[in-house]
Amino acid sequence: MKPDRCSFCKGKLGEGKTKFVAKVGEQIIAIKDVAAYVCENCGEAYYTPEVSRKIDVVMKKFHGSKLLLYPLAAGELSFDEIVS
């Protein structure tokens, strides 16, 4: 079943591609070009069960160090530190 509205802002969803980003311990994995229904207003992504299962497979390989990953420049900061 295709979702039609964003549960956060009630914006309209359209088929598109997005980036799935997850932090696992001190490592970050970013999977680009993931098929999703993306909110045209706020950008929230909704995945089909099939795509979610494929993401799970990739994450299992990531946890098992069975992926060849390219380095990604990233910075991390604490929100509390920058708004105080």
Q: How far apart are CA 34 and CA 8, in angstroms?
A: 20
Q: Where are the domains of the chain?
A: 13-83
Global pTM? 0.81
pLDDT tens column, 22-64: 988 888 899 999 999 999 999 999 999 999 999 999 999 999 9
- The CATH architecture annotation of domain 13-83 reads Roll (3.10)
Q: Which two tokens stand for residue 41?
A: 């207003």
7: which residues sit within 8 A by CB, 6+ positions away?
44
- pLDDT category at 1 given cuts 50, 70, 90 is low
Q: Which of 57, 48, 45, 53 shows the shortest CA–CA distance to 20?
A: 45
